[in-house]
Amino acid sequence: MTENKKLNIGLIGFGVVGEGIYNVLQQTPTLNATIKKICIKHASKKRNAPQELFTTNVESLLDDDSINVIVELIDDADAAYKIVTTALRNKKHVVSANKKMIAAHLQELLMLQKENEVSLLYEAAVCGSIPVIRNLEEYYDNDLLNSFSGIVNGSTNFILTKMKEEGLSYENALKQAQQLGFAESNPALDVEGKDAVNKLTIVLQHAYGITTKPETIVHKGITQLHRSDTKYAAEKNYNIKLVANARRIDDDKIVAFVLPTFVESKNQLYHIRNEFNGVLIGSKLADEQFLYGKGAGRYPTSSAVLSDIAALRYDYKYEYKKTKSNAHKYQLSNDFLLKIFVSFNQDAEINVSFFDSIEDRYFNKNRNHLVGFISLNNLQKADWFNDETVSVIAFDGDDNKISTNTFLHETILN
Ligand code: HSE
């Protein structure tokens, strides 16, 4: 595609984001991008766009030679997989926001782009409006990243904020996140940490060139958080946030996990409220950097989709430079000691032999807790880790140095 070539778009999905992108493109004629057809599931629904644009036949878009870009904005990951892979095979460029589908099939999607010499862009899949992927891909290419730590799910951050600041119940806060269009249509993906781990999987590809599957990454969401955890956090002046982490622990090892985390007020993530997302980058030379913006919702997500569409005009594609490069071959490792807080009911059995050391034990007729160091390897193995009555919260303090720079910063500067 040459610069400013006309983009003829087949839009698939007309939900929160699909309709948003339709509206935005109507208002951005300079982009030289036209929506030729829109594929929807239910023909009978009333839509805010001319009737003749709509079809329920997805093949009529995928087989249409005049369409050179498919913008896929549906939330069914299996259907999205079929659409995106067919579109790439049919030599169409694709823009997608489907993090679940992308995280599950990264390896194949990389291959299909290469084989068919087309581009698949998905900036909206990670942190909504914040340009995270292009940043990791381009800006940090020559600057080794020490760490990525971020609030990457807007719904859980919205729920945690509303519970803390307005005393809303978990159920009511979740309902609001759904009504505002932040939550996935299956909100379990948000609250169980699956959405965050899908996003972290994509981050690992662009930050470190690691192709992995979401299920290999240690993760836990916010469903098991107990009111005593909130009380503990308030006493210590922590905010509980769901944090996705990737950090370099060695020349060739990366540790990655998603856990509810006690965040201290000196950490930027502490101050991120509602559906906002934020990412702290620990960089070898630049030290700490912070990216902040809306992570969910119609127009923030449309903004990232629009940026991808615009990038296609000048042939932009992710080069996956770190995946191809031989300079640094990183591997995931769970060989990392983490300081955690575990709270549990009287009758729960917590086998403490998984811990390396225990710093604090608190037993009370309502709820017990332990604070100690455990390796991620052991945490993953511990039977109580997936028990829904047991809370596991990481500490984001100097003990873990999750968001601070690692040894490399010092080594380089000394
Ligand atoms: N459900 C997602 C979130 C939408 O709350 O962050 C944006 O990816």
Give 38-61 pLDDT, tens digit per residue: 999 998 889 999 999 999 999 999
Residue where one domain finishes, among candidates 332, 355, 386:
332
In angstroms, the CA 392 to CA 404 distance is: 21
Give 243-284 pLDDT, tens digit per residue.
Answer: 999 999 988 899 999 999 999 999 999 999 999 999 999 998
pTM to 2 decimal places: 0.94
Assess if residue 101 is contained within a domain: yes
In this structure, the residue with its CA closest to atom 4 of ligand 1 is 296
Residue 3 has a pLDDT of: 56
Quote the mean pLDDT of the chain.
92
Assess if residue 178 is contained within a domain: yes
Residue where one domain finishes, among candidates 60, 93, 121:
121
Catalytic site positions: 199
| Ligand 1 pocket residue status of 295, Cβ below 6 Å | yes
Give 393-408 pLDDT, tens digit per residue.
Answer: 999 965 554 433 333 3
Substitution candidate for ligand 1 out of 155, 157, 158 with most atoms within 8 A of CB: 155
Residue 143 has a pLDDT of: 74
In angstroms, the CA 315 to CA 311 distance is: 7
Same domain, 174 and 284: yes
In angstroms, the CA 394 to CA 262 distance is: 6
Same domain, 172 and 245: yes
Tokens of 26: 């109507």
CATH number of the domain enclosing 116: 3.40.50.720
Least confident of 208-212, 247-251, 381-385: 247-251
Same domain, 258 and 389: no
Total domains in the fold of the chain = 3
List % helix, strand, coil for the chain (3-state, nearest 5).
40, 25, 35
Assess if residue 230 is contained within a domain: yes
Assess if residue 210 is contained within a domain: yes
Residue 269 has a pLDDT of: 98
Same domain, 273 and 361: no
Same domain, 114 and 137: no
In angstroms, the CA 293 to CA 128 distance is: 8
Domain around 147: 132-332
Tell me: pLDDT of 2 over 70.
Answer: no
| Ligand 1 pocket residue status of 131, Cβ below 6 Å | no
Task: From 397, 366, 404, 311, select the one nearest 123 (Cα to Cα).
Answer: 311
Tell me: pLDDT of 168 over 90.
Answer: yes
**CA separation, residue 63 to residues 34, 302, 401 (Å):** 17, 25, 51
In angstroms, the CA 109 to CA 377 distance is: 29
Same domain, 140 and 100: no
Phi and psi (nearest 5°) for 328? -130, 115
Assess if residue 2 is contained within a domain: no
| Ligand 1 pocket residue status of 191, Cβ below 6 Å | no
Distance between Cα 128 and ligand 1 center (Å): 7
Q: Between the CA atoms of 103, 55, 177 and 206, what dihedral angle is there, to the nearest 10 degrees?
A: 20
Same domain, 271 and 192: yes
Q: Which atom of ligand 1 is nearest to the CA of 125?
A: 8
Residue 279 has a pLDDT of: 98
Give 218-246 pLDDT, tens digit per residue.
Answer: 999 999 999 999 999 999 999 999 999 99
**CA separation, residue 274 to residues 148, 166, 387 (Å):** 21, 12, 27
Burial (CB count <10 Å: 0-12, 13-18, 19+), residue 414: exposed
Tokens of 212: 């992995």
Q: Are 196 and 218 in contact (CB under 8 A)?
A: no
CATH number of the domain enclosing 248: 3.30.360.10
Assess if residue 127 is contained within a domain: no
Say which amino acid occupies 330: Y
Same domain, 351 and 315: no
3-state SS, 94-158, equals EEECCHHHHHHCHHHHHHHHHHHCCCEECHHHCCCCCCCHHHHHHHHHHCCEEEEEEECCHHHHH
Longest CA–CA span in the chain (Å) reads 70
| Ligand 1 pocket residue status of 153, Cβ below 6 Å | yes
Same domain, 105 and 141: no
Distance between Cα 168 and ligand 1 center (Å): 20
Same domain, 55 and 162: no
Assess if residue 126 is contained within a domain: no
Residue 4 has a pLDDT of: 67
Burial (CB count <10 Å: 0-12, 13-18, 19+), residue 2: exposed
Same domain, 295 and 171: yes
Distance between Cα 297 and ligand 1 center (Å): 8
Distance between Cα 257 and ligand 1 center (Å): 18
Coil, strand or helix at 325: coil
Q: Which atom of ligand 1 is nearest to the CA of 184?
A: 1
| Confidence bin at 327 (pLDDT 50/70/90) | low
Same domain, 245 and 383: no
- Cα separation of the two ends of the chain: 47
| Confidence bin at 141 (pLDDT 50/70/90) | confident
Distance between Cα 116 and ligand 1 center (Å): 30
Other beta carbons less than 10 A from residue 265's beta carbon: 10
Q: Which atom of ligand 1 is nearest to the CA of 183?
A: 1
Length of the chain measured in residues? 414
The DSSP call for residue 6 is P
Residue where one domain finishes, among candidates 317, 332, 347:
332
Substitution candidate for ligand 1 out of 75, 129, 153 with most atoms within 8 A of CB: 153
Say which amino acid occupies 360: D
Residue written as token pair 């940026």: 307
Task: From 134, 119, 114, select the one nearest 68 (Cα to Cα).
Answer: 119
Assess if residue 163 is contained within a domain: yes
